[in-house]
Structure formats: C-alpha cells, structure tokens
Amino acid sequence: TNPGYDITGIARAALDDLTHGHIISGGSTITQQLIKNAIVGNQATAIRKLQEIILAPSVTRYYTKQQILTMYLNTTYYGEQAYGANAAAFTYFGLQDKPKATAASQLDLAQAAMLAGIPSAPIGRDPFVDPYSAFVRVQEVLQQMRLQGYITAEQERAAIAEVQQPHFFHPGVLSGTLAPHFANYAVNELANLLHVKRVDLSRSGLIVSTTLDLPLQNQILKIAQRHIAEMAATHNMSNAAAVLIDFHNGAIRTLLGNIDPNNPHYGAFDVAADGYRQPGSSFKPFIYATAFEQGISPGTPVFDTPLTIQMCCGLPPYSPPNYDQRFHGLISYRYALQNSFNVPAVKLLMKTGIDESLHTAQKMGISSYTGTPNYTMVLGTLGVHLLDETAAYGVFADGGVRIPPHAIDTVTDVQGQVIYHFVPVGRRVLSKQVAYMMTSVLSDNKSRLYEFLDCNVLQLYSNSKEQCLAGNRGVVRAAAAKTGTSNEFRDNWTVGYTTDYVMGVWAGNNDNSPMINVTGVDGAAPIWHDSLLLAEQGRPISDFANPGGLVKKNVTYPEGITTTDWYLN
C-alpha cells in the first residue's frame, strides 16, 4: 500500500536543491500536497515536511486515492488567486457552476490540460503572465496523456490547435454588484467560526451558503442611490448604508456598507458593520425599555420643561434642548418618545441610571461603542454600528429574544459533508411584555403626528404619499420605527421592524461633514420605507401580537393628566 509519502522522492528533491543552492524541485506526493494545501500551510521548512510525512498515512487510510485526488484538485493553487479546479475554470475560462454540472466538469480537453499544467509552478506557468511556458507545459501534459493511452494523437493535435486560438481564454469577471461588503463580513465570520486565518480560506475547498438575498440587496442599493441623488445638492448628503435582518433566525438578508462600493476612495469601507456613527434619538428606546422593565408605563406623565444637570468630571452644566426649541408641558412618555422630545428622555435616564440603561443596550446587541456614557447618551451621542443597532431592535420585534445576526448558513467540505450549519439559539434579554410595550409605542402613528404629521414614511402604506394625503393609504402593514439625527445633521438614522424583518438605514457623508437641515425622517426614512415594502412584497400582512401579562389602564395622575396605556400586570 502507498503510505502517502515517497522518501526516495523527497531525498532526490533535497539533493537537487542542495546541488543547485536553491529549490528547483519537490518530492511531495499528491497526499502530501493535499496536507500542505488544507492543513499545515506552505512554509518551506523541514518541520512542515515532517508534519506531512506524519499525517500522510492517516489520510491514505481514511480516504481512497480518488477522494484524495478530488480534494487535492479542489484545494490546490492555479495562480491568479484561484484555489481549486472550479475557481480556475472560472478564472481562466469564465465557466460557472450549473445545477447539474460544476465549472470544472465543463472543461474541454484543451482547457483541462492547460489547468493541469499550472499547479506545479503557479507563477511560472501562469498563462496570463508567461504564455510561452504555459504553452510548453500544456504540450507536455497532452503528450503524456497520449503516451499513457488516455487520448489519441488526433485529439492531441486538435487540443494543441485550440490552445493556440487567439480567444482560447475567457477570463471570468466578478460583477461589482455582488455585495462586496456582505462578502467581506461573511468571510470574516467564516474565519472566526472555523478558527482559521482569512488567507487560508481560499485554499480550503469549502462550499459556503450564505444568508444574502442578492436580488433584494441590489434593489435596495438602487433605492438608496436614487434617494441620495435626490438629496445630494440641496442637503449635502452623499452616502447611505442599510441592513435587513430576518430577526426570527438572525439571518442578514441585506448588508449595504455604502452606495458606491466600487469607489476607489471610500467604496471599500463598510459603514454598516465597521463605522461608528451617532444614532441620535434612535438610541432612546434602549433607555425607555429599561424604564418599562423597572415598572414605568408608557402612560406615565413627565414634565417637558427646562432642565439643567450638573455634570461630573469638569464638564459644564448640561441643559438639553428639544429639536423644535419648545417645551411641551405635562405629557406622557409615549407621546414624548414618539415625538422625539429630548428633555423627557434625559429625565427618564436620570430615573433608570446610566449603567443600567447602557447594560440594556449591550445585552440587546450593542457590542461596542465610542464616546463616554453619560446623560447625553439618551440623545445618541455614543458612536455605534448600524448593524448592531438594527439587530438590537430585532429583540423588540422578536418578543424580547436576541438571536445574534449571522451571514453564514451552511458550510460543506469537498466531499459534500456538512461541517457547519447555523442553528438559531435565542436568549431572552427582555420580557415579552416590555418588548410589546415598546412595539406598541413605536408603531403608534397617532402619537407622533405632532412632530411627523400624517402620511409620514414611518408608516408602511402601499400607495404614494399624495394618495395617502388624499385619504387613500392603500394596504397598510404594521410597522414600528424610530428616527435619529445627530448634532449638526451629521447622521440620519431610521431603524424599525415589521412582523417579518428588522431594518436599519443610515444616511450622511463619508467624511462625517454636516448635512444641511435634514432629519432622519427625511434622510434615512424614505430608504427604509421603500426597502421594507420591497422586502415584504407577497408576504401576508399580520399585526404585532400581544403576549399577555399586561393590563390597559385609564389612570388620572395627581399632576393633572389622564392617560390610557399598558402597565405590567
């Protein structure tokens, strides 16, 4: 039996290398090369060679020669960043997998012979770099195939003639619309899941299924591009990012890092997953959720009146203003949140506590932030990731359960065996009742009419705004949403959800420069509105379900206000 290594070959190669003073040949078997490609790496050291020799017998006992050859062909390097025969078939000849045929299986004799000659010298016989050496090698391959009886002399001559044709190569081209920010996020996630380096994944031969809905991603990209183009001149707005997640299982369906991913200056930067941006008032629900957990009702009254807070650590006193530069007297917390009044939110944070409220945000999914947590954080002064905040809102949508967002669904090896499959495991971080109370507030269009007016784009009505204003909304889908605008109009946010998806949208500028007089409902919300309607097409309409454990009370408070709202039972 073949142990998987050839001591004579290794010794002969070592002698050749010593004689010439540099590496001119190798003595590795196919099994050793597979181990190098898939396990130990390609460092030219004696330790690596020893590792190959130690592992080779186990590989040959466990796999047949045909399986070893298949795995080798699916992991070896063919130059031009192509690892595996299928990738090489696409790179050099533009062939792609079909439902019943892999890219490599579609190669003809001349194409297969060309690829077969590359792995022994992927740079020296790269046909794009050194076409002469590649041609010499393909003739050698075809000659050996004829001498060993695999092809006839006529087939050999025909294949050589084909190789010499001017359009023999048809390099595959990856379209720029293939979600580069999602792809980069998915590769990082895959490397973390498998505990390997990113650079090692391309030679792993793995087949990876992701959560991306590419047609939807491309349509949302067009929606965002169109809206930014409409706003650019008047409002100095140049970019947007969007995230769409199926909160039932955490699957990221869309991750749009910016609207111009092929831009040579900023296209590679993923604002959604990597950018820290101030969320403005879209951060308020985390503080309100903390208050609801502590027994405060959306109907509890609060005075929206001037407030000054003495800050610590040498900071000046803080007097939060409202966006409309007015105070609104005695109101309910429901009304305060829906109209995004700042003073009541700061007063609520003084009740719930900075640490407790920050902990709520973190357990819901705010994995990291920039800035200093203090009483201003309720107004969104911490920098957070759009992906994090979108996933965190998914906790409200999923009845208080957090399922972390993910991009990788299934991973199989070259033999078709499943080595990873995502199984959603939720963890309760809020009670069902608190989550529903928040949904009840954020979906209450009547309570936000003061600030946002009717037919605002936080409602998912199917007709146009003009038709809505004329009294014809069309089909209306239940939706809960919150906008945010940071200081000096540097960031616009809208984050919200239906019974199917949670979506977050950011709009602003790449250099963090101020926009001109544009808030979240005008900058980010139209993208959110149109994209969610698109994602929901064809899906049944359902309302948010009351989980029970709540009681609706009509309460007259001593301060002189009567409200009807939900209270923990």
CATH of the domain at 224: 3.40.710.10
**303 within some domain:** yes
- pLDDT band at 196, cuts 50/70/90? confident
392 and 536 belong to one structural domain: yes
Torsion of CA 69, 70, 75, 81, to 10 degrees: 110
DSSP 377-442: GGGT-SBB-HHHHHHHHHHHHTTTEE---BSEEEEE-TTS-EEEE-----EE-S-HHHHHHHHHHH
Interior/surface letters 289-327, b for 16+ CB within 10 angstroms, e for the rest: bbbbbeebbbbbbbbbeebebeeeeeeeeeebebeeeeb
Q: From 479, 511, 513, select the one nearest 495 (Cα to Cα).
A: 479
237 and 153 belong to one structural domain: no
Mean pLDDT of 90-116: 93
**431 within some domain:** yes
pLDDT score for 60: 84
- pLDDT band at 18, cuts 50/70/90? very low
101 and 229 belong to one structural domain: no
Residue 65 half-sphere exposure toward CB, CA atoms < 13 A? 6
309 and 429 belong to one structural domain: yes
pLDDT score for 11: 46
* pLDDT tens string 135-150: 999 999 999 999 999 9
pLDDT score for 14: 45
pLDDT score for 54: 74
365 and 507 belong to one structural domain: yes
Give the chain's largest Cα–Cα span. 102
pLDDT score for 15: 44
- pLDDT band at 291, cuts 50/70/90? very high
Domain of residue 37: give its range. Answer: 7-163
pLDDT score for 177: 58
| Burial of 8: CB neighbours in 10 Å, binned 0-12, 13-18, 19+ | exposed
Mean pLDDT of all residues in the chain? Answer: 91
Residue 379 half-sphere exposure toward CB, CA atoms < 13 A? 19
131 and 262 belong to one structural domain: no
Q: Is the pLDDT of residue 4 over 70?
A: no
* Listed residues 148, 163, 178: the one ending a domain: 163
- pLDDT band at 77, cuts 50/70/90? confident
**186 within some domain:** no
- State the pTM of this model: 0.79
Q: Is the pLDDT of residue 279 over 50?
A: yes
pLDDT score for 203: 67
- pLDDT band at 262, cuts 50/70/90? confident
- pLDDT band at 41, cuts 50/70/90? low
**171 within some domain:** no
533 and 443 belong to one structural domain: yes
Looking at the chain, the whole-number percentage of residues with pLDDT higher than 70 is: 92
Task: Kindly state the tokens that stand for 456.
Answer: 């605002």
| Phi, psi for residue 418 in degrees, rounded to 5 | -75, 120
**246 within some domain:** yes
Amino acid identity, position 448: R
pLDDT score for 176: 55
32 and 151 belong to one structural domain: yes
* Listed residues 130, 163, 196: the one ending a domain: 163
Q: Is the pLDDT of residue 236 over 60?
A: yes
159 and 274 belong to one structural domain: no
**201 within some domain:** no
Q: From 464, 476, 276, 292, select the one nearest 380 (Cα to Cα).
A: 276
271 and 124 belong to one structural domain: no
259 and 364 belong to one structural domain: yes
* Listed residues 103, 129, 163: the one ending a domain: 163
Interior/surface letters 126-157, b for 16+ CB within 10 angstroms, e for the rest: bbeeeeebbbebbbebbeebbeeeebeeeebe
- pLDDT band at 38, cuts 50/70/90? low
- CATH code: domain of residue 75: 1.10.3810.10
**176 within some domain:** no
pLDDT score for 520: 85
Looking at the chain, the whole-number percentage of residues with pLDDT higher than 90 is: 75
- The full length of the chain comes to 569
Q: Is the pLDDT of residue 100 over 50?
A: yes
Total number of domains in the chain: 2
**138 within some domain:** yes
- pLDDT band at 379, cuts 50/70/90? very high
- pLDDT band at 22, cuts 50/70/90? very low
DSSP 231-279: HHHHH---EEEEEEEETTTTEEEEEE--S-TT-TTTTT--HHHH--B--
* pLDDT tens string 475-524: 999 999 999 999 999 999 999 999 999 999 999 999 999 999 999 899 99
Mean pLDDT of 92-111: 93
Residue whose token pair is 């999602």? 182
488 and 370 belong to one structural domain: yes
- pLDDT band at 31, cuts 50/70/90? confident
Q: Is the pLDDT of residue 392 over 60?
A: yes
pLDDT score for 82: 87
Q: From 324, 332, 325, 281, select the one nearest 303 (Cα to Cα).
A: 332
* pLDDT tens string 520-540: 899 999 999 999 999 999 999
